[in-house]
Amino acid sequence: MPSQFFGLNIAGSGLSAYQAAINTTANNVSNVQKEGYSRQETTLEASAALRVYATYGSTGTGIVATEIKQQRDLYYDSKYWENNSKLGYFDQKLYYLNQVEGYFEDNGVDMGFSTIFSAMFNGLDTLNGGNASDSSVRNQFIYRADNLCTYFNSVANSLQSLQKDLNEEIYSSVSNVNAIGEKIALLNKEINQIEVRGGYANEFRDERALLLDELSGMVAVTTQEYDVPNSYGADLGGTNFTVFINGQILVDGNDYRTLECISDKYKNNQTDAEGMYEIKWADTGTDFAATTGTAGGTLKALFDLRDGNNTEALKGTVTAVTANANGVYDKVTMSDLSNVRINALNIPERGTISVGNKTYEYSGWEAELDADGNLVDITFNLDKPVEADELHLVENKDVVVGKSVDAMGIPYYLAQFDEFLRNFTELFNGIQKKGMTLDGEKMGSFFIGETETGTIYDFDGWGEVDADGNPVAKPTKISSEGEGYHQLTAFNATVNQRSISEPGYFATTKDITNGKDAYDLVTEMMKLQNDTVIYRGDNASAFLERIVSDISVDTEKNTVYYENYFNMSGVITTQRSSVSGVDEDEEALNLVKFQNAYNLSSKVISVLTEIYDKLINQTGVT
């Protein structure tokens, strides 16, 4: 039979248990505005029954607070991280797409392509009707043509500057990912130190979850947690917590991996900025693969905008691997090209080609052209030759030059600018080369390319005509270092300096003996504005419409996705908060509930005190 004073133990257990519950409720209320705080709950259980030698067999021993534990649901956490990764991706992408779109504005305040292009042709039109020999009229046109080149130079430099900004933000994001990975690993250690002793590290777990929320905005995040048993299978109380980003391990228990940014030796596209970062794992040197199907978050958006070429990287099939005089296989030829138009060629002078899982670096290339001037094949001069025992892995295999990224980023828009300029200037220069200057000299190229290092591409041999004005044979080869319109870009396009300094160096007629005011070529050049197919099946004036259409459709699509994921974020956050959030009304109710239970336990002690007083002091023989 239990002691007469056993009731005090039972009532005391109630006081202790409900005091713990009240303290937990007070902690919840205190942290109601704290970001990342998860509501805690005191688990109350009946104490183990006591076996007694009485007819009722056993008796209750009161109540005990077994644990104070945060309330979280891994399902909602996982859904939040998944959605946050996609929301971060589209939010970041929209931010930069709006900047890119701003570069193409032509609204009367910001003079854009359409205004400048129309002004140039208006200046050209003034050379009609007897003004062709007027130096001031010629200067006006040449100045406006130079303005067009300056426009392309300016936009190209702005886009490349944005590409460099994206590159630096990639570096910053990688630093943040590494810092978060380190913090999570330290928290894993702190959590286990507490929990192997039987406690529950609520605050540390909240801090870790908050870091995972932040991390999920930058990359795709998944987690795995399992109990750690000893060699006999007994639970040690600790857990192993693993964090995966883009499907790859970042944190494994107390250990963490780091990413590093390495400047790429080569460009992926002809007009890329130098020194673009690639992300690799510091421990293995393998690629992080920031743009794969499992990737997400702001980091993927940065790569898509920085490297996106709309999967238009040159592709083909390896049709020959050629050995030099020493028997070294240092030349790879690709045919069946995905693009045969020279003016759409966007491969760098030096770069990489990928065949299967193997990447080869090249230091130059040569291309064969057909009678129509289209690409037939391209031969790359490899820095490191193909080994003889690897020939079967290369020959007749698919090959890609650079990287193919499925997004319309900076490289895509720069490539569109280059293609338009090449098409337009080739036709314009072709007309010019039919004519003569005011001094009776055969006219050369009006539009040329001049690089920052002073290299000039005047397209000698391209669009040439004989003495009777008939086209001469087109070149049959081009190379990474040779002459050709593939060397013209939005960065280096300019008007021939001689035309700027000598207005007479511009052809308005095929034969100056027809008179210095003859303008037969002016009429032909005017057709390039609206009456000639220049770009994507339309005339030159429609160029901006095509570009704006691309960026507008892309922006609108991303806006729709962003709004969808933003709305989903609100729903998931509400569901998550229903489990983890602190509800002030519910906590107020708990305070009253636990206060009443505490008061009742106190009342039991008061009653028992009266009973014991009666038993001890007032019972007995006097």
Q: What are the tens digits of pLDDT across the range 155-184?
A: 999 999 999 999 999 999 999 999 999 999
Task: Note whether 121 and 526 are within 8 A (CB).
Answer: yes
Report residue 85's pLDDT band, with 50, 70 and 90 as the boundaries.
very high
Mean pLDDT computed over every residue of the chain:
92
Task: Note whether 345 and 486 are within 8 A (CB).
Answer: yes
**Which CATH number, 2.40.30, 1.10.287, 2.70.150, 2.60.40, labels domain 314-402?**
2.40.30
Instruction: Give the residue-averaged pLDDT of 1-17.
Output: 82
Give the Cβ contact number of residue 558 at 10 Å: 19
pLDDT of 557 = 95
Does position 209 have pLDDT exceeding 80, yes or no?
Answer: yes
Helix, strand, coil proportions of the chain in percent (round to 5)?
45, 20, 35
Report residue 599's pLDDT band, with 50, 70 and 90 as the boundaries.
very high
pLDDT of 463 = 72
pLDDT of 354 = 95
Strands 248-252 and 63-70, by their bridges, are unpaired
Q: Which residues does 488 contact at the CB level (< 8 Å), separation at least 6?
A: 418, 421, 422, 425, 447, 449, 457, 459
Does the pTM surpass 0.85? The reply is yes
Task: Note whether 516 and 443 are within 8 A (CB).
Answer: no
Q: Count each helix (H run) and each strand (E run) in the chain, helices first.
A: 12, 20
pLDDT of 424 = 96
Q: What percent of the chain has pLDDT over 70?
A: 96
Domain range annotation of the chain:
1-71+595-622, 113-169+411-473+486-558, 314-402
- pLDDT tens per residue, range 86-102: 999 999 999 999 999 99
SS3 assignment, position 578: helix
Helical (H) or strand (E) element with 187: helix 135-195
pLDDT of 7 = 81
Instruction: Give the residue-averaged pLDDT of 191-204.
Output: 91
In the DSSP assignment, the letter for residue 68 is E
Q: Which residues does 275 contact at the CB level (< 8 Å), separation at least 6?
A: 167, 263, 264
Instruction: Give the residue-averaged pLDDT of 575-579.
Output: 93
- Residue 69, both tokens: 């534990």
CA dist., res. 425 & res. 419, Å (int): 10
pLDDT of 478 = 94
- Residue 322, both tokens: 């050629």
Q: Give, in order, the Cα–Cα distances in Å from 89 to each of 339, 401, 562, 580.
A: 31, 27, 8, 26
Report residue 253's pLDDT band, with 50, 70 and 90 as the boundaries.
very high
Q: Which residues does 341 contact at the CB level (< 8 Å), separation at least 6?
A: 374, 375, 419
3-state secondary structure 121-136: HHHHHCCCCCCCCCHH
Instruction: Give the residue-averaged pLDDT of 30-43.
Output: 93
Give the Cβ contact number of residue 238 at 10 Å: 19
In the DSSP assignment, the letter for residue 400 is E
What does the buried/exposed string (b/e) look like for 169-184 if buried means 16 or more CB atoms within 10 Å of the residue's CB? bbeebbeebbebbebb
- pLDDT tens per residue, range 351-405: 999 998 899 999 999 999 998 889 999 999 999 999 999 999 999 999 999 999 9
Does position 1 have pLDDT exceeding 60, yes or no?
Answer: no
pLDDT of 172 = 97
- pLDDT tens per residue, range 549-569: 999 999 999 999 999 999 999
Question: Rounded to the nearest 5 degrees, what angle is found at the Cα of 69, between the Cα atoms of 191 and 241?
Answer: 35
pLDDT of 52 = 76
Q: Give, in order, the Cα–Cα distances in Å from 499 to each of 384, 390, 442, 447, 489.
A: 45, 54, 13, 10, 20
Does position 468 have pLDDT exceeding 70, yes or no?
Answer: no
Q: Give, in order, the Cα–Cα distances in Å from 175 to each of 179, 214, 279.
A: 6, 13, 11
